[in-house]
Structure 1
Amino acid sequence: MNHVAIITGASRGIGAATAKLLASNGYAVCVNYRARMDQAEAVVEEIEASGGRALAFKADVSREQDVIALFNATEQAFGPVTALVNNVGVLLTQSRLVDMDVERFTRVMATNVTSCFLCCREAMRRMPDGGAIVNVSSLAARTGSPFEYMDYAASKAAMDAITKGLSVEAAEKNIRVNGVRPGFIHTDIHADGGEPGRVERLSPSVPLKRGGQPNEVAHAIEWLLSDKASYVTGSLLDVAGGK
């Protein structure tokens, strides 16, 4: 089978690590980005330098027409999409819910949830021979992230609901749908929230006493996409050091 993957938000962090890992395992990879063109192109260059196939494609995946264009471009370059990783996500400055405005909440839900819905729907329409979807959720979906990111936590819990429901609807089409819930991972997203050192602060509360690396999450995603997980669907895999 010709393995073709779309990874949303793949210019950095978990998305970039997943793109590189999948490419090293024979996937042709579309590295989606919205604003970080230089970083996305650097990921593609690294993949191609190692003999892999990749393209960078700009799309705001919270917009329907952008999602359609993303899938069209990937199919034109590599053939039918067989794998989708819904990784894109936004995290805004730490805040209590009482201090959040509706514009912030709407932006987080659109970026994190609407994008997941749109990409999942498009994948369902374009995987006639089956495939696999992995939604990148968060430990916050279980904890609620009080005093910091309740909007983000709510968006990730919504992604978990999509994962569970779609896994049942997709089963008859031989499409598996799973999720990963990363814990405290060393990525730039914490700087977006206003605390670059958040992982170091919270690491003592993790049973393994350390933060995770993007590649550790990428390996979980790669397994769920692979035939090694052929009897796994509707599962949510915590990659959180025991938290």
Structure 2
Amino acid sequence: MNDLELRGKNALVTGGGVGIGAAIAEALAARGARVAVTYRTHAPSDEAVGRLRSADGRPALTLRSDLTVEDEVQALGDRFAAELGGADIVVHNAGGLIERSRIAAMPHELFRRIQAVNVDSVFLVTRRMLPLMSTGGRIVTVASLAGRSGGHAGATAYATAKSALFGFTRGLANELAPEGITVNAVAPGFIESTPFHDTFTTAESKQQTVSGIPVGRAGVPGDVAAAVSWLASPGASFTTGTIMDVNGGQHFS
């Protein structure tokens, strides 16, 4: 096996139905991994599932689950174990803004929902999947540039959640290093062709944002997938506790 090949590895990608999650799942499958994807609101298309066949010809496992509900997370872990066995790679991609709201007008319930979708889900899935992982395991979380920059108006709660993932990543990396499991995160900047920006970003705002990206273009889901694929690979065994910026020079940590 070379440093990038994932043949024989079992991977879970949360929120893997569309956008960045779908690109990550496809990239892992292309390198030989057997992939399971979770979804709640965005089910993967038949065409997308067809692209996720592993090197040994096994079809992808699709798991509908609300990752903020402990019992549902327990059930998805049970099914993963029954269908695939041990887990080698866990990618936390599920999350979202839900809706824009300034803090002064935000109901507490909305603030808690945003934290649950972005942070509680990562905790619950991690806790469930860790018993299935062993030496050489990889955990990668998709955070956001908003966790560093604070995001735009109306996204403070989302930025708070994504920033929390940085601390979770570094703390968990310390906990799991003696077990030979690495834990890293990526922090994407503006990534087009995703439900997030299709829903919450206006055409004018997109144009303004892209004009300020030094490399001269918006990111695409494949840019994030490439970074995640490397962090999930055998070649990344000496990298843990890091936050990898994927933003075209939009922000330097």
TM-score norm. by structure 1 comes to 0.93
Which position in structure 2 is the counterpart of 1:25?
31
Q: 2:180 aligns with which of 164, 174, 180?
A: 174
Range that drifts further, 89-98 or 191-200 = 191-200
Contact conserved, 1:190 with 1:198, CA < 8 A, in 2?
no
Kindly tell me the number of residue pairs found equivalent between the two proteins: 242
Contact conserved, 1:27 with 1:53, CA < 8 A, in 2?
no
Deviations, residues 152-172 of structure 1 (Å, cap 9, x unaligned): 100000111100100000101
Paired amino acid for 2:53: E
In 2: Cα distance, 1:158 partner to 1:49 partner: 33
Paired amino acid for 2:78: N
Contact conserved, 2:214 with 2:249, CA < 8 A, in 1?
yes
- Please state whether the residue corresponding to 2:60 is helix, strand or coil: strand
- Please state whether the residue corresponding to 1:48 is helix, strand or coil: coil
2:60 counterpart of 1:45: no
In 2: Cα distance, 1:200 partner to 1:158 partner: 29
* Matches for 1:10-159 after TM superposition, within 5 Å: 10-37=16-43, 39=44, 41-48=46-53, 51=57, 53-159=59-165
- What is the Cα deviation at residue 52 of structure 1? 5.4
2:178 counterpart of 1:188: no
TM-score norm. by structure 2 comes to 0.89
Contact conserved, 1:87 with 1:136, CA < 8 A, in 2?
yes
Specify every segment of 5 or more residues in structure 1 that has no aligned partner in the other structure, as ranges: none
- Please state whether the residue corresponding to 1:31 is helix, strand or coil: strand
- What is the Cα deviation at residue 120 of structure 1? 1.5
Paired amino acid for 1:44: V
Specify every segment of 5 or more residues in structure 2 that has no aligned partner in the other structure, as ranges: 1-6
Paired amino acid for 2:155: Y
Structure 1 vs Structure 2: percent identity of aligned residues? 38
* Matches for 1:193-208 after TM superposition, within 5 Å: 193=200, 195=202, 198-208=205-215
CA RMSD, 1 decimal: 1.9
- What is the Cα deviation at residue 206 of structure 1? 1.3
In 2: Cα distance, 1:84 partner to 1:12 partner: 17
Contact conserved, 1:137 with 1:160, CA < 8 A, in 2?
yes
2:9 counterpart of 1:3: yes
In 1: Cα distance, 2:209 partner to 2:51 partner: 32
